[in-house]
Amino acid sequence: MKLIMLGAPGAGKGTQAKMIAEKYSIPHVSTGDIFRANIKNGTELGIEAKKYMDQGQLVPDELTVKILLDRVAQEDCKNGYVLDGFPRTIPQAEVLDNALTELGDKVDFAINVDVPDENIIGRMGGRRACVKCGATYHVVYNAPKTEGVCDACGDKLILRADDEPETVKKRLNVYHEQTQPLIEYYGNKGILKEVDGTVDMKDVFAAICDILG
């Protein structure tokens, strides 16, 4: 079972990807994690990717797909995987499709966790992060025991710049422009499945499990 998670930043697709990975015993493959692992381990692909990143440039799609295929070729991915954070654009999806086709492989489902912009702005504006240990909370859905104080280490919690409404709006604009077209792309391929991401996290997961069987 090979899956791609789609959805706007803050839609909760990363959380769902982890839950799917656990239930179906397949790896949760995050492109950010793969990049970090390759760079840390000094692999040939990691060194090449780091050259672009050090110059503040985006890693080219072909190299990103190479790093991704290297990861999904590992033994733990033989029964499938959940891709989180890739593809982000139509050209990336096309490069990935072509590479998988050459291997006689394909993606089974693209699951879109659908959440309106206003919900996302409200959700992300309620996030709080610990500056010391990195633990994250939400003032409504996962509040700390003491307001503004981390349960884990007792340090103060902040609203990260990434989660401020203006920043979230900018990120959503980029999503609508670059990533949202993937919904139509995978719809045309007949593998798109949509779930309502505004309901409780467990209900979103139950809907995804109904799709996957």
Read off the tokens for 83: 């891709």
- What is d(CA 41, CA 47) in angstroms, rounded to the nearest whole number? 9
> What digits encode the pLDDT tens for the residues 143-160?
999 999 999 999 999 999
Long-range contact pairs involving 41-45 (C-beta distance under 8 Å, separation at least 24): 45/70
Q: Which of 88, 123, 128, 193 is catalytic?
A: 88
Q: Which of 2, 13, 71, 128 is catalytic?
A: 13
Asked, as a colleague might, if the bond just before 60 is cis with ω within 30 of 0, I would say no
156 among known catalytic residues: no
If one looks up domain 2-116+168-212 in CATH, what number appears?
3.40.50.300
Q: Which of 2, 66, 71, 127 is catalytic?
A: 127
Query: What does the domain layout of the chain look like in residue ranges?
Result: 2-116+168-212
Quote the pLDDT of residue 176.
95
DSSP for residue 146? B
- What is d(CA 192, CA 25) in angstroms, rounded to the nearest whole number? 22
13 among known catalytic residues: yes
> What digits encode the pLDDT tens for the residues 68-80?
999 999 999 999 9
Q: Does the pLDDT at position 43 exceed 90?
A: yes
User: pTM for this one?
Assistant: 0.84
Quote the pLDDT of residue 168.
92
Pairing of strands 127-130, 157-158: antiparallel
Residues 6+ apart with CB under 8 A from 161: 167
In whole numbers, what is the pLDDT of the chain averaged over residues?
Answer: 93
> What digits encode the pLDDT tens for the residues 81-138?
999 989 999 999 999 999 999 989 999 999 999 999 999 998 899 999 999 998 999 9
Read off the tokens for 50: 């780091």
- What is d(CA 117, CA 114) in angstroms, rounded to the nearest whole number? 10
Q: Does the pLDDT at position 56 exceed 90?
A: no
Read off the tokens for 6: 């789609």
> What digits encode the pLDDT tens for the residues 157-191?
999 988 999 999 999 999 999 999 999 999 999 99
71 among known catalytic residues: no
